[in-house]
């Protein structure tokens, strides 16, 4: 299994996503399934979520979840939950299953198309904008640096839209923080602004492992190593991660980062001795 990352502008951005309950809870009021067809679609989508939530356990789970959700979407093109699921699942497929550049492009293009459909269906849905821009940024990076820079204005607009629609959108806040963390200063990168966004994200969802991992990386760049270690320990010891599969992958990154900090400390101590 490849590391679960989302790259933005040639730089790694750990994926930030929803739990099943987050996404379903954000459905519009009055959209509870009423007909037999709607009830059947709801059950099938829950099955797809179960498979996606266990992507780290069995190869092929993501493919099967996509197959189920595509069937729902084909039968009911206006099913918002299915569109959001497909946009998210294709993004996951890209970084977990895709083995070639062509497969990556196909996955992110599919995810972007589903996200775009969701945005058109519900323009004021921040989750739709989030999944659209996540796939958009990933597609740009896969195609190369020029495409990434070309897409930067749209990525910024989408992130601004997400936070206008929902100022406390934890994933939107985290993605903003990661963007400011990685962009060079000439393009607007700023570690202090990044830190503010990441802390805001964790204030909304303290169990969002991607935001905590990026806050640790931010502290490392600022040479605030003790604070970085504290964030990494909190991530590793988290008993209630927002989405276990993502935490499972991010925990590996956290352990590697801790080892790197400890090795650096040993080298500095040896140099003083």
Mean pLDDT over the full length of the chain: 86
- Give yes or no for residue 153 having a pLDDT over 50: yes
Among 100-104, 114-118, 182-186, 210-214, where is mean pLDDT lowest? Answer: 182-186
Residue 146: what pLDDT? 60
DSSP-assigned beta bridge partners for residue 6: 13
What the block records as the tokens of 118 is 């969701």
Rounded distance between C-alpha atoms, residue 114 and residue 73, angstroms = 10
34-59 as b/e: b if 16+ CB within 10 A: eeeeeeebbebbeebbebbbebeeee
**Which of 46, 98, 91 is closest to 69 using CA atoms?**
46
Angstrom distances, CA of residue 45 to CA of 48, 69, 231: 5, 6, 35
pLDDT in tens, 223-233: 999 999 999 99
Q: Is 216 exposed, middle or buried (0-12, 13-18, 19+ CB in 10 A)?
A: buried
Residue 40: what pLDDT? 85
pTM: 0.84
- Give yes or no for residue 251 having a pLDDT over 60: yes
Residue that is written with structure tokens 């991010």 in the block: 250
**Which of 49, 69, 134 is closest to 95 using CA atoms?**
134
Residue that is written with structure tokens 């309950």 in the block: 21
**Which of 88, 91, 2 is closest to 48 using CA atoms?**
88
Rounded distance between C-alpha atoms, residue 112 and residue 134, angstroms = 8
Any idea what DSSP says for residue 28?
Answer: P
Residue 268: what pLDDT? 76
The set of long-range contacts for 41-50, using a CB threshold of 8 Å and a minimum separation of 24, is 41/72, 41/75, 41/76, 41/79, 41/82, 44/68, 44/69, 44/71, 44/72, 45/69, 45/72, 45/81, 45/82, 45/85, 46/20, 48/72, 48/85, 48/89, 49/20, 49/85
**Which of 168, 166, 254, 180 is closest to 210 using CA atoms?**
254
- Give yes or no for residue 3 having a pLDDT over 60: no
Any idea what DSSP says for residue 204?
Answer: H
């Amino acid at each position: 299994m490849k590391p679960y990352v989302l790259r933005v502008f040639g730089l790694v951005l750990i994926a930030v996503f929803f739990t099943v309950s987050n996404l379903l809870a954000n459905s519009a009021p009055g959209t509870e399934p009423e007909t037999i067809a709607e009830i059947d679609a709801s059950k099938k989508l829950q099955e797809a979520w179960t498979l996606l939530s266990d992507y780290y356990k069995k190869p092929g789970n993501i493919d099967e979840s996509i197959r189920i959700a595509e069937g729902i979407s084909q039968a009911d093109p206006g099913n918002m939950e299915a569109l959001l699921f497909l946009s998210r699942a294709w993004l996951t497929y890209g970084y977990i299953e895709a083995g070639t550049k062509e497969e990556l492009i196909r996955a992110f293009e599919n995810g972007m198309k589903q996200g775009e459909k969701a945005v058109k269906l519900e323009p004021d849905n921040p989750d739709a904008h989030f999944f659209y821009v996540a796939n958009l940024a990933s597609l740009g990076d896969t195609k190369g640096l020029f495409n990434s820079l070309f897409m930067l204005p749209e990525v910024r607009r989408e992130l601004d839209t997400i936070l206008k629609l929902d100022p406390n959108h934890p994933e939107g806040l985290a993605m903003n923080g990661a963007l400011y963390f990685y962009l060079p200063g000439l393009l607007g990168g700023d570690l202090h602004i990044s830190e503010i966004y990441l802390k805001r994200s964790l204030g909304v969802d303290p169990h969002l492992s991607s935001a905590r991992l990026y806050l640790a990386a931010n502290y490392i760049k600022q040479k605030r190593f003790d604070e970085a270690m504290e964030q990494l320990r909190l991530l590793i010891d988290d008993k209630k991660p927002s989405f276990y599969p993502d935490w499972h992958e991010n925990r590996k990154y956290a352990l590697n980062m801790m080892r790197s900090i400890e090795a650096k400390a040993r080298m500095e101590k040896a140099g003083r001795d």
